[in-house]
Amino acid sequence: MINNTKLICFYGPESTGKSVMARKMAEHYQTLSVPEVAREIILSSDFTTEDITRIGYAQTQRVVDYAKTANRFLFCDTDLITTQIYCHHYLHQVPPILMELEKQIVYDHYFLFDIDVPWVADGMRDLGNQRQTMFNVFKAELESRQISYHLIKGGWIEREEKIKAVLNLL
């Protein structure tokens, strides 16, 4: 929590609705959502550990900055665990600084998005044929860190209702 703002992480593999849901929840709760900085820096799957390090620093700073003016909740559609997962997947290594940056932001709640919605190509996504594998990796990373989460599955309306029900309890 930063400045009494609850940090909410929408987490999971690509094309599960995290970005859209972050924007929807921010609008509903009249607050902010932090976009995925990687989409601003990386334009293809050709990137380096230096690019990933820049992303890690930029994503962390963006969360800190947005939290200063957020209203009760700050919705984030990614985190540093996600950055580590994709770095490991594509580059087969993870710069140690990503683990240090991960510790700087502690999310108040995680929502793990299931893959039970259609995969949509957007020019950057390329893991449509590995959805279950990637979902398992994302889930395992939360569990290895003993981070509790709510699994979000079902249609778009059902997902939205489940998230709002949990948030209203917070």
- What is the pLDDT at residue 136? 97
Q: How many Å apart are CA 128 and CA 115, to the nearest integer?
A: 10
Q: Which amino acid is at 126?
A: D
**Hey, how many other C-beta atoms are within 10 angstroms of the C-beta on 2?**
17
Look at the chain and report how many structural domains it folds into. 1
Structural element, H or E, at residue 157:
helix 156-169
Residue 170, pLDDT score: 84
Q: Identify whether 15 is part of a domain.
A: yes
Q: Which DSSP state fits 161?
A: H
Percent share of the chain, pLDDT over 70 = 89
Amino acid 36: pLDDT: 86
Q: Return the CATH number at 139.
A: 3.40.50.300
Q: Domain for residue 129, yes or no?
A: yes
Query: Could you list the residue range(s) of the whole structural domain that residue 138 is in?
Result: 6-169
Instruction: Please give the pLDDT value at position 38.
Output: 80
Contact 145, 110 (CB under 8 A): no
1 is a domain residue: no
Closest CA to 52 of 20, 111, 11, 94: 94
What global pTM score does this model have? Answer: 0.90
Average pLDDT score over residue span 110-135: 77
At 1, the pLDDT band (50, 70, 90 cuts) reads low
* pLDDT value at residue 126: 53
> In the block, which residue shows the tokens 């902010």?
32
> Where does residue 130 rank: exposed (0-12), middle (13-18), buried (19+ CB within 10 A)?
middle
Q: Which of 12-16, 78-82, 159-163 has the lowest mean pLDDT?
A: 12-16
Residue with the larger pLDDT of the pair 120 and 165: 165
pLDDT bin (cut points 50, 70, 90) of residue 120 is: low
